[in-house]
Structure 1
Amino acid sequence: MAKKDTIATASVLAFEKKLVPSDGRFYGTTWDKRTEQAIPLKLLEKSVRGTISNRLKKALQDDPMKLDAEVEKPNLQTVDSCALGSDQDTLKLSFTLKILSGVEKPSACNSAEFNAGYANAAKTYIDSEGFNELAKRYAVNIANARFLWRNRVGAERIEVVVTVKNQGEQQSWTFDAKAVSIKHFDHNQADIAALAAKIAAALAGNSEFLLLEINAYAQAGLAQDVYPSEELVLDKGNSKSKKSKILYHIDGIAGMHSQKIGNALRTIDTWYPEHGEADIGPIAIEPYGAVTNLGKAYRTPKDKADFYTLFDRFARGETLSGKNDEHYVMAVLVRGGVFGESGKD
């Protein structure tokens, strides 16, 4: 039998994601009748005349006449927008979430030796930890409506209703999202614990899967703007007639990408190295701790805190520095991805 440190990483290695959200759909309603009636929200197209506000070249900055001439140019834009109706004050976001088991089994692995070592390490983690810590954090992110993103800001009240949709099961929970902090996971509410127990059971394989229906209600105010996902425009071209902002819709209903919902649910990493910076709170589970809006990776190979450094040790049966590193490694595998080692330099 080969020694642990001689077992090579598989060149083909992939894991399927175990938290599988659907796209979210946007509806408009009123707070008093939020569970009774809701109308699908449509996208609106606006043509607006904006002003020049971008940073200018130095030649323009130093010449007032050139600056005046530049400012006089119309900045014409066609954009998508979405808003509640004039008689609506509450946004309803609706989606489903499926939690799957089988984290201990890669969907692809071309090294039987590496696969056996990983499976043993994963089983040891499941037997000792049972996904309880990860499940609690996922449950908190459902309860606090982190997945609303910008729609969470400025809402007077937010309510999240979670219903188990597995056949033969009748269970649901209602959460006051504003009472559940998005800054930490030290919450001990009985309902969060009950939801977490269901999630942990599914991840650990005690049940085949768990299917949840999640409806979030955010009281934003009459006729206020709401914020679906924005599409990435790859071919902008030179035409002024093209829309500069395109929002996502599902068969005409304003929507949120499943990837964006998934990113919010897996924003549970508080174990990354601090680097002496101000606390930014939990970050999404990523192999290098990437936070794109800050342009920073919080888990680097230099610090030996990135996924690949920790996973290679974990899969070979080595003891990591603490349970937090194990939680992080397993959370990345729940996220899923392709993690094989390339033969190229």
Structure 2
Amino acid sequence: MSEKIATASVLAFERKLDPSDAVFHSGRWDERDNGSKWSPVRIRVKSVRGTISNRLKAKGGDAAKLDAAVNHANLQTVDVATLPADADTLRVTFSLRVLSGTGMPSACNNAAYRVRLQNVVNDYVAKHDFTELANRYAANLANGRFLWRNRIGAESVAVEVSRQKNGECVQKLTFDALSLGLRTMDQFDSNVTALGGLIADGLAGRTHVLLRVTAYVRLGFGQEVFPSQELILEKTEKSKTLYHVENVAAIHSQKIGNALRTIDTWHENALESGPIAVEPYGSVTTQGTAYRHPKLKPTQDFYNLLDDWLLKDKMPAVEQQHFVMAVLIRGGVFGDAN
């Protein structure tokens, strides 16, 4: 490059996969096509009497006090959501907008950097389109990863993805989610690639894409289901608070988005960990690990990869190019604070 370019101090991107909250309804497996037979799943409060089972600070403590703590009942008030006694299937529904404009910042205070970034993205799209990324997003819709704990132990899981236009379904694809694995991202059947092609068209701006996703999960009559759990910072009477939308149990849109972008198999520990959610540092908080730590060599974190690509003309390997584009699709604030 003839002109030296610095990273913009103000740099932000809007997410390009925009899911809604996913709401829960209950019904019977053999009545999946009858929408009037499905009732909202409500959250109710339950009080339980458990035992003390957490690790106690016993070193140097009073033995009598320790015995008293262990023998004391653990009284809890929690939220719970279950299927009714006459329903064996959970229905989970959400919508997904696929937006164009990947690599176009919503805020950028450096015009030269913006131009360079857009040229790099355009070159990537010309070579690869969004095919690889879109197929991976499609796979996570098809395999029901967005169901999280609700998928575990299910007898059957059917996922329907319909394209909406003017309020009507113009195309529908159906998947047997349990026949599709969660750990591999390199083998896609024709239905997954068809959905991937639609997502790629939306990301590239070739067409407007709005999807309605419906999953039917056969769990068993009266079985517990698992909405998102709220993070309550203040101490309350309840030890577990579940998320709802107008008193209907639901999963946060952020959690749906996290599942859809769990496509990163390009980091060095992928064979062991499987796909992880696309994050600048490959952070997986449930494992307390950053799989793309900035200190790793060769470079694997988003910021160093992006700077090498844009500022130093060091084009990353193709797999890492996919990762960088996936982070831009994820969106976020990436400016240089220095």
Of 336, 339, 342, which residue of structure 1 is paired with 2:334?
A: 339
Greater strand percent: which structure? 2
| 2:273 aligned residue | 280
Q: Write the mapping of 1:156-305 to structure 2, written as runs, cut at 5 A.
A: 156-167=155-166, 170-207=170-207, 209-236=208-235, 242-274=237-269, 279-303=272-296, 304-305=299-300
Q: Write the mapping of 1:46-85 to structure 2, written as runs, cut at 5 A.
A: 46-59=46-59, 63=63, 65-85=64-84
Matched, 1:29 2:27: yes
Provide Cα deviations, 1:147-202, integer angstroms capped at 9, x if missing partner. 00000000000000000002376110000001111111233311111110010011
Provide Cα deviations, 1:117-145, integer angstroms capped at 9, x if missing partner. 10100000111111000000000000000
Of 5, 8, 27, which residue of structure 2 is paired with 1:7?
A: 5
Q: Structure 1 residues 326 and 149 mapped into 2: Cα distance closer, same or farther (>3 Å)? A: same
Offset of residue 236 of structure 1: 1.0
Partners of 2:173 and 2:191 within 8 A in 1: yes
Matched, 1:148 2:147: yes
- C-alpha separation in 2, matches of 1:11 and 1:177: 43
| 2:114 aligned residue | 115
Q: Single out whichever of 223-232 and 301-310 deviates more from structure 2.
A: 301-310
Partners of 1:60 and 1:66 within 8 A in 2: no
- C-alpha separation in 1, matches of 2:305 and 2:161: 34
Partners of 1:15 and 1:333 within 8 A in 2: yes
Of 17, 20, 33, which residue of structure 1 is paired with 2:18?
A: 20
Provide Cα deviations, 1:292-315, integer angstroms capped at 9, x if missing partner. 110000001112210000111223
Q: Single out whichever of 53-62 and 136-145 deviates more from structure 2.
A: 53-62
Secondary structure of residue in 1 paired with 2:272: coil
- C-alpha separation in 1, matches of 2:198 and 2:9: 35
- C-alpha separation in 1, matches of 2:90 and 2:169: 28
Offset of residue 60 of structure 1: 7.5
Structure 2 length-normalised TM: 0.95
- C-alpha separation in 2, matches of 1:317 and 1:216: 46
Secondary structure of residue in 2 paired with 1:171: strand
Offset of residue 47 of structure 1: 1.0
Secondary structure of residue in 1 paired with 2:26: strand
Partners of 1:60 and 1:67 within 8 A in 2: no
Alpha-carbon RMSD across the aligned residues, in angstroms, is 1.6
Of 301, 305, 309, which residue of structure 1 is paired with 2:304?
A: 309
- C-alpha separation in 2, matches of 1:41 and 1:183: 30
Structure 1 length-normalised TM: 0.93
Structure 2 residue runs without a partner (length 5+): none
Secondary structure of residue in 1 paired with 2:70: helix
- C-alpha separation in 2, matches of 1:82 and 1:153: 16
Partners of 1:13 and 1:108 within 8 A in 2: yes
- C-alpha separation in 2, matches of 1:171 and 1:319: 42
Partners of 1:180 and 1:187 within 8 A in 2: no
Offset of residue 66 of structure 1: 3.2
Offset of residue 67 of structure 1: 3.1
| 2:97 aligned residue | 98
Structure 1 residue runs without a partner (length 5+): none
